[in-house]
Amino acid sequence: MDKKELIAQYFTKKLSQEAKKEFDHYMITDSEFAKEVNFQKNIKAVIEKEERDAIKSQLQTFEKEQNASSFNYKKLAAAATIVVLLGLSSFWYFNKTIDNEKLYAEYFEAYRNVEQPIVRSETKTDLKTKAFTAYETKNYTEALEYFDMLLKENYSETIAFYKANTLLKLNKTNEAVAVFKANLKTTDSLDDKNNWYLALAHLRLNNIEEAKRILNTLNTSSGFKNEQVKRLLKQLD
């Protein structure tokens, strides 16, 4: 299961026993995963505290009004409604995270290798061939190492683009965003592709307005993945 969805299901108490084991494993072995869980725990704690404070304040107001006048069932019902609505806010937040993760999974597919076609019968051992062989065979950890080596030798927007795709596959979304943004500062023919994957990365990070802004730019200035862009924009509205 994807790490982001694991986290979302943890907070909505939907983890299966198998998923719980996977979650516990990542908490021990993956520092970034544990950091993200703790970050969302802090957000949840803040939301819950604000809810409690708001409920307490509202109930105190109703109590004062009731002490000053006769008992009012309508006011009591209104107070109960506020309690329910505030209690739903954190539930909405974490379920929205799940929805965005599902959308991301629906649209994300690592960009195919058109830079260095791999011929299985050949035995080339140059760094670029090794990088794209690892990429094509979904050995993304190894591919990332090779892409980094290539970029140190000679920076290439195309190699950086594939590196960013690799980072997305490795759930290193913030790092991927930084690479896509750097690429967009150059004059490169991959701008529409960088923008598409950058929009998906922002979707995964729940930066919905930024994702929509980029998608709208694509919708008006590029034909790349035109149908998917239009459909995703509708789903985000």
pLDDT digits (tens, 9 = 90+) for 4-22: 778 888 887 777 787 888 8
Torsion of CA 186, 190, 196, 200, to 10 degrees: -70
pLDDT value at position 93? Answer: 47
Q: How far apart are CA 207 and CA 203, in angstroms?
A: 6
Q: CATH 1.10.1520.10: does it fit domain 127-236?
A: no
Helices (H) and strands (E) in the chain, counts: 11, 0
Q: Angle 203-218-182 (CA atoms, 0-180°, nearest 5)?
A: 70
Residue 210, classed as helix, strand or coil, is: helix
User: Of residues 87 and 1, which shows the higher confidence score?
Assistant: 1
Band of pLDDT at residue 122, cut at 50, 70 and 90: low
Confidence check: pLDDT of 154 > 60: yes
The answer to whether 200 and 104 are in contact (CB under 8 A) is yes
Q: What's the pLDDT score for residue 63?
A: 66
pLDDT band at 140 (very low <50, low <70, confident <90, very high): very high
Does position 169 have pLDDT exceeding 80, yes or no?
yes
Q: Is the pLDDT of residue 70 over 70?
A: no
- Higher local confidence (pLDDT), 125 or 217: 217
H or E, element range at 207: none
Distance CA 30, CA 2 (A): 13
Question: Domain boundaries in the chain?
Answer: 3-97, 127-236
The model's confidence at residue 97, banded by pLDDT at 50, 70 and 90, is low
Query: 47: number of CA atoms within 13 Å, CB side?
Result: 16
Instruction: Report helix, strand or coil for 187.
Output: coil
pLDDT band at 136 (very low <50, low <70, confident <90, very high): very high
Provide the pLDDT confidence category of residue 94 given band limits of 50, 70 and 90: very low
Is residue 198 pLDDT above 50, yes or no?
yes
Q: How confident is the model at residue 186 (pLDDT cuts 50, 70, 90)?
A: confident
pLDDT of residue 164: 97
Higher confidence at residue 93 or residue 57?
Answer: 57
**pLDDT given for residue 91 in this prediction:** 46
Q: Are 143 and 174 in contact (CB under 8 A)?
A: no
Look at 8 and 131; give whichever has higher pLDDT: 131
Nearest to 170 by CA among 113, 100, 162: 162
Q: What is the pLDDT of residue 143?
A: 97
| pLDDT classification of 212: cutoffs 50, 70, 90 | very high
Cα dist from 1 to 18, 48, 86, 134, 188, whole Å? 10, 28, 31, 22, 35
